[in-house]
Amino acid sequence: MSTENAKMLIEQGKTALGIEFGSTRIKGVLIDYDGNVLATGGHEWENKLVDGVWTYDLEDVDAGLRSCYTSLRKEVEEKYGITLTVIGAIGISAMMHGYIALDKDDRQIARFQTWRNTNTTAAADELTELLQFNMPLRWSAAHLYQRILDKEEHVKNIDSVFTLAAYMHYKLTGQKVIGIGDAAGMFPIDSDALDYNESMVQKFDALLAEHDCSLKLREIFPKVLVAGEDAGCLTAEGAALLDESGNLKAGIPMCPPEGDAGTGMTATNSVAPRTGNLSAGTSTFAMIVLEKQLSKVYREIDMVTTPSGFPCAMAHANNGTSDLNAWVGLFQEFSKLMGQEVDMGTLFGKLYTHSMSGDLDCGGLLAYGYYSGEGITFISEGRPMFVRTPDSRFNLANFMRANLYTSLGAVKLGMDILLKDEGVALDRIMGHGGLFKTPKVMQKYLAAAVNTPVAVLETASEGGAWGIALLAAYMVDGKKDGKLEDYLDQRIFTSLTGETLSPDPEDVAGFETFTRHYVAGLEAEKAAVDCIDW
């Protein structure tokens, strides 16, 4: 698209803005209604561990939103010479799950608990038994019930409970609503009713009443919406919060806020049955859209939905690239010590590519990048760990390969349940996120891990911000093309280029050997949690 055409679309407001709150970066993407990226913005941030709780200050959430939008607005001014005043639609996405509690005056009354926290084991176990449905540790209902079990003082003052995406949407629109995919990280969803599962809601409310708690789930959780539905408009207060320059006009339509799982599915055109995607970042999760429900409840597998409400099985690992990034940072520090200034992007690319010269089973090296507890492997706390035997083949290529493999380690165990035990049909899986930015490396390793063809598009590194922008565009301009999957198939992904890699049988065998080592070493990881505490 020419600069002049892009400028005209921006001036006419025929655009969609997606902003996603990731674990380490808030990213904004401005697109036209055909998915073409017109401008981007970003803001770096990081969660922190406070009194044993992984959290972000909500003041930092607001500041990060403004910073991200400001950088995007300035890029528009620099590239096109115009001031951004109107946008066709806006969408907000964020890390799924977690717990933000407000009182009737919209004051925060408890520390924001992110998806990373595993302090809800008692609640999750009891809810799983009560509902006969896997209740992950990080889901909002588990957080709420744990606060009740712990008799926390703030519970009596709760008026609203949000995920981060729903909270930010509420601040921008005044509407207490949530996209169905993000809602599926709060409480189980009925994909036929496209709403919270009513029979489970009644059981949950009755359980709370047994604890002398008068809260009702539907009164405090946001209303569920599906892709394409009206989720309100940007208010004057919301516009002032978003744009510190004061130029952005109120009244812009906003789509239902979604979690990063739903935006990842959208960004990879993985919203129809027999499709799947893997998002690789600070957390790593794989999603498969199902043709039918699973045969039984698995504690390792979350049942969620697409943004349209299709049932979807998720293998979600709390730990992805944090430890890997720390090791690369160490190599950069060494390079500086030796007088070599190395660009981080170049360093990542060279190390990832070099890993492909390593042994297919990583030479007997083993790593766990557990910064926090890991639900799939039932590890309660994080202890990053690297292990080798005296006769392991310890070299740089194997070291990097082991750290890349282990970023998929827990997710693979969940995928093995789906693909091997349940026989779930999967035609292809799409990879997206920063791990796939270096060509072919993680694509090849993922194909080996799941023994399935893996496709990566050129938009892979745009990730969920592009996905939520697409959902915003679908709401205002895409519904004429039909269902969400029709809009994506026929309008967005027809011209996008990418490459599909089929699994190499020798790579598959190598990853299976690494996985056996990974499973065997979990006892050492558990011992590290018990023994290392300083």
pLDDT tens, residue by residue, 489-504: 899 988 766 789 999 9
Asked if residue 461 belongs to a domain, the reply is no
Asked if residue 232 lies in contact with residue 249, where contact means CB atoms within 8 angstroms, the answer is no
Asked if residue 197 belongs to a domain, the reply is no
Q: Which two tokens stand for residue 273?
A: 């049955």
d(CA 419, CA 451): 9
Is the four-CA dihedral 421, 424, 428, 434 of positive or negative sign? Answer: negative
Asked if residue 163 lies in contact with residue 186, where contact means CB atoms within 8 angstroms, the answer is yes
- Closest by CA to 510, choosing from 386, 379, 404, is 404
- Closest by CA to 335, choosing from 316, 319, 348, 352, is 348
* Residue 418 phi, psi dihedral angles, 5° rounding: -70, -50
Query: Residue 505: how many CB atoms within 10 A of its CB?
Result: 10
- Beta pairing class for 498-501 and 275-280: unpaired
- Beta pairing class for 160-162 and 100-102: antiparallel
Is the four-CA dihedral 477, 481, 482, 488 of positive or negative sign? Answer: negative
Write down the pLDDT at residue 497: 67
Give how far the C-alpha of residue 268 lies from the chain's centroid of Cα atoms, to the nearest Å: 13
CA distances from 112 to 102, 167, 341, 403 (A): 10, 11, 38, 30
* pTM (2 d.p.): 0.82
Scan for tokens 């390793």, then name that residue.
Answer: 445
d(CA 446, CA 511): 9
Is the four-CA dihedral 185, 190, 191, 193 of positive or negative sign? Answer: negative
Asked if residue 329 belongs to a domain, the reply is yes
Query: Residue 330: how many CB atoms within 10 A of its CB?
Result: 10
d(CA 443, CA 504): 12
Write down the pLDDT at residue 435: 85
Q: Residues for the chain: how many in total?
A: 534
d(CA 82, CA 75): 10
Write down the pLDDT at residue 243: 98
Please list the ranges in the chain whose pLDDT falls under 50. 460
Asked if residue 391 belongs to a domain, the reply is yes
Q: Which helix (H) or strand (E) holds 76?
A: helix 58-80
Asked if residue 182 lies in contact with residue 96, where contact means CB atoms within 8 angstroms, the answer is yes
Q: Which two tokens stand for residue 522?
A: 């979990």
pLDDT tens, residue by residue, 143-174: 999 999 999 999 999 999 999 999 999 999 99
pLDDT tens, residue by residue, 248-287: 999 999 999 999 889 988 988 889 888 998 988 888 889 9
> Three-state DSSP class for 184?
coil
Asked if residue 259 lies in contact with residue 185, where contact means CB atoms within 8 angstroms, the answer is yes
Write down the pLDDT at residue 335: 96
Instruction: Enter the DSSP assignment of 296.
Output: S
Write down the pLDDT at residue 292: 84
pLDDT tens, residue by residue, 412-465: 999 999 999 999 989 889 887 778 889 899 999 999 999 999 998 765 455 789
d(CA 146, CA 152): 9
* Residue 311 phi, psi dihedral angles, 5° rounding: -65, 145
Asked if residue 477 belongs to a domain, the reply is no
**Residue 160's beta-bridge partner residues?**
102
Torsion of Cα atoms, 170 then 175 then 179 then 182, to 10°: 40
d(CA 502, CA 448): 9
> Three-state DSSP class for 54?
strand
Asked if residue 443 belongs to a domain, the reply is no
- Mean pLDDT value across the chain: 94
Q: Which helix (H) or strand (E) holds 238?
A: helix 236-242
Asked if residue 483 belongs to a domain, the reply is no
CA angle (276 as vertex; 274, 281 as ends), nearest 5? 175
d(CA 514, CA 477): 47
Sequence letter at residue 37: V
Write down the pLDDT at residue 106: 97
Scan for tokens 């205002």, then name that residue.
Answer: 476
Asked if residue 496 lies in contact with residue 489, where contact means CB atoms within 8 angstroms, the answer is no
d(CA 129, CA 436): 38
The count of domains in the chain is: 1
Range of the domain at 513: 322-406+506-531
Asked if residue 337 belongs to a domain, the reply is yes
d(CA 182, CA 140): 10
Asked if residue 181 lies in contact with residue 311, where contact means CB atoms within 8 angstroms, the answer is no
d(CA 200, CA 340): 59
Write down the pLDDT at residue 462: 58
